[in-house]
Amino acid sequence: MSKILLTGARVLAPDALSTSFQEVLVEGGRIAALLPPGSKVDAAQPFDARNRLIIPGLVNGHTHGHGGLAKGSGDKWDLALLLAHAPWVTGGRLLQDKYLSSALNAVENLKKGCTAVYDLPSEIPLPTAEGLDAMAEAYAAVGLRAVLAPMLGDLTFFQATPGLIDSLPEPFRSKVAAMSAAPAADTLGAMGDIARNWSHGSRNIRFGVAPTIPLHGTDDFLKACRALAMEHGLPMQSHVAESRYQSAGGEIRYGGATLLGHMDKLGLVGPWFSVAHGVWLTDEDLALLAERGAGISHNPGANMRLASGIAPVRKAIAAGVTVGIGTDGSSSSDNQNMFEAMRLAAFASRLWEDAEDDDWLGTAETVRLATQGSSSLLGLEGGTIEAGRNADLVLLDLDHVNWAPLNNAANQMVWTEDGSAVADVMIAGQWKLRDRRVLGIDEAKLAREANAAAERLRGVTAESRAWCEAVAPHVACHCRAMAKGWTRSKRLLKAE
C-alpha cells in the first residue's frame, strides 16, 4: 500500500483558528499521521509542499449537476421564474449531455477546492439507469466524491403551486392543465431498480433520494420516497422553504402546517434527511430539525441570486441543527465556488435586522460549516485534518497574491480566497489536481464538447423557451402575490 508524505507545509487546525508546520502522512486513502517537521517515514513517497497551506477539502452541501450546461441562462429570475423556465433550461438533453454537464460541474468544483458534492440532478420525465450511470462516470473520471440524489415529484410545478393554473389566462391555462408528471409508480419503480443495481459505491459515489420540493409530491409519493430510502439506506435531501411563495403554498395545502412540519408527519425527517436552503424555516421548524438529527445546506449565493432571502443560520446553529454550505446549481447560482459561498454566508449573516456581532458567522466558524458541516450532510468521514480522517486535502499556494502576506488563515480563506490559489487537490489519497491541472479529464476537449452541446440545445429548445418566456410574467404575478401574504411567523396577513 503506497504512502505519501506531504512535507514542509502549513496545516490548518481542526478548529480553523490556526496553522502549524506539520508533515502529513497519507496511506490507504486516509490521513495516517501528522508528524513534526523534518520527520522521515520509510517507504513513503515525499511530496514537497513548501509554501503551501493544506486545508481539508471543501464539501458542497447542495448542487445540481444538470446546471453545468445551463450556467448564465437567466438574469432577473426568482425561484418561481427559474422553475417556469426549467423546460428549456434543462430540456432536450441526450445521454452525452448528461455526462458533459456533470463533468463540467465536477471539474469546476475540483478546481475551486471542493472534494465532494451533494448533487440533485434532473432527468425528465423520470430518472434512468443510463443517465445516472453517465453522471456517476463523470464524477468518477474527475475523481470527486458525490451523493447523486435525483429530484423526484409526481406533480408539475403548475399543479404544485396552489391557484396557479386558475390564475393563468388562456391559452396558457389549457396547456398547463393538460401537463402531467411521470406516473408515481414509474418514477418509484425506476428509482428502486437503480438503487438495487447501483455499482458506483466503490468509487465513492453514493445514490440518494431527493423529493425535489414537498409541494411537488402528493403525500403518498413523499411517503413512498421515504420507504425507498429506508429500504436501501439512502440519504435524502429536499428543497424546503426556499422561497416565501412555497411557504405560503404549504400553509394553503397543509391546513396551516409548515412544509417541514408536514414532511415530518409523513416520516421523512430524520438523521438521513437534510433541507436545502431553508430560508423561511420557522423557529419551530429549526427545533424539529434538531430534535430529529436532520441538517441544512445553506446556499447563500442562490438565495440572493433568486431573491429568496437570507436563511436563519445562526438560529439553526443555536437550535442544534447540523449546518453545511453549498453553491446550488449553475443555473441558479452560476458557479461552483465554495470559497465564494463561504464569503457570502459570512456576509449574509451580518444583514439580519437587529443582528448583533455575536450573531454573525465568524470566518473560522464559516470554514467549519463548509468542511465539517457539509461532510456531515453527506455522511463523510472528512472535514478536518486529523489521523484517521479521509485524505481529502487541498493545497493552497501561499505565494499567490491572495495569501501575500499570510496574516490569518481563516480570514483569508473566507475574505480573500476565490479559488485561484488552489494548486493541488487530493481525494481519498489520490491526486486529482496537480499544478492546477485536472488529471482525469481533458479540459480543452470538455469545453469544445460543451460548447457544441449548448449550441445544439439552443436550437432544440427554442420553441419551448419562447413559450416559457410568454407564460413567465403570469407565473411571477401569481407567486409574488402569494409571497406577500406570508411571514416567517406563519401568519397569513389580511390584505389591506
Q: Per-residue pLDDT tens for 388-435?
A: 999 999 999 999 999 999 999 999 999 999 999 999 999 999 999 999
Region 15-28: mean pLDDT is 98
What are the C-alpha distances in Å from 167 to residues 255, 265, 429, 492?
Answer: 21, 30, 56, 20
pLDDT score of 2? 86
Q: Under a CB-based contact definition with an 8 Å cutoff, are residues 148 and 203 in contact?
A: no
Compute the 3-state secondary structure of the chain and give helix, strand, coil in percent, each to the nearest 5. Answer: 45, 20, 35
pLDDT score of 78? 97
Q: Under a CB-based contact definition with an 8 Å cutoff, are residues 63 and 119 in contact?
A: yes
Query: Mean pLDDT for the chain?
Result: 96
Region 18-27: mean pLDDT is 98
pLDDT score of 489? 60
Rounded Cα–Cα distance for residues 263 and 95 (Å): 33
Closest CA to 242 of 82, 104, 101, 106: 82
Confidence of residue 491 (pLDDT cuts 50, 70, 90): very low
Between vectors from CA 98 to CA 95 and to CA 100, what angle results, nearest 5°? Answer: 110
pLDDT score of 494? 36
Q: Under a CB-based contact definition with an 8 Å cutoff, are residues 232 and 207 in contact?
A: yes
pLDDT score of 493? 41
pLDDT score of 358? 83
Confidence of residue 495 (pLDDT cuts 50, 70, 90): very low
Strands 393-397 and 52-56 turn out to be antiparallel
Q: Among 183-197, 459-473, 481-495, where is mean pLDDT lowest?
A: 481-495
pLDDT score of 320? 98
Residue 496 has pLDDT above 50, yes or no: no
What are the C-alpha distances in Å from 405 to residues 16, 311, 336?
Answer: 18, 33, 26
Between vectors from CA 74 to CA 72 and to CA 76, what angle results, nearest 5°? Answer: 130
Region 80-103: mean pLDDT is 97
Judged on CB neighbours under 10 Å (0-12, 13-18, 19+), 64 is buried
Confidence of residue 266 (pLDDT cuts 50, 70, 90): very high
Region 31-59: mean pLDDT is 97
431's enclosing H/E stretch is strand 430-434
Region 33-57: mean pLDDT is 97
pTM of the complete model: 0.97
Place of cell 514537497: 48
pLDDT score of 492? 42
Region 216-237: mean pLDDT is 98
Confidence of residue 174 (pLDDT cuts 50, 70, 90): very high
For residue 237, give the amino acid letter: Q
Residues 6+ apart with CB under 8 A from 410: 16, 17, 362, 363, 364, 366, 367
Rounded Cα–Cα distance for residues 339 and 378 (Å): 19
Rounded Cα–Cα distance for residues 140 and 458 (Å): 28
Residue 281: all three cell numbers together: 424555516
pLDDT in tens, 182-206: 999 999 999 999 999 999 999 999 9
Confidence of residue 1 (pLDDT cuts 50, 70, 90): low
Closest CA to 52 of 393, 282, 283, 430: 393
Closest CA to 69 of 100, 111, 106, 114: 100
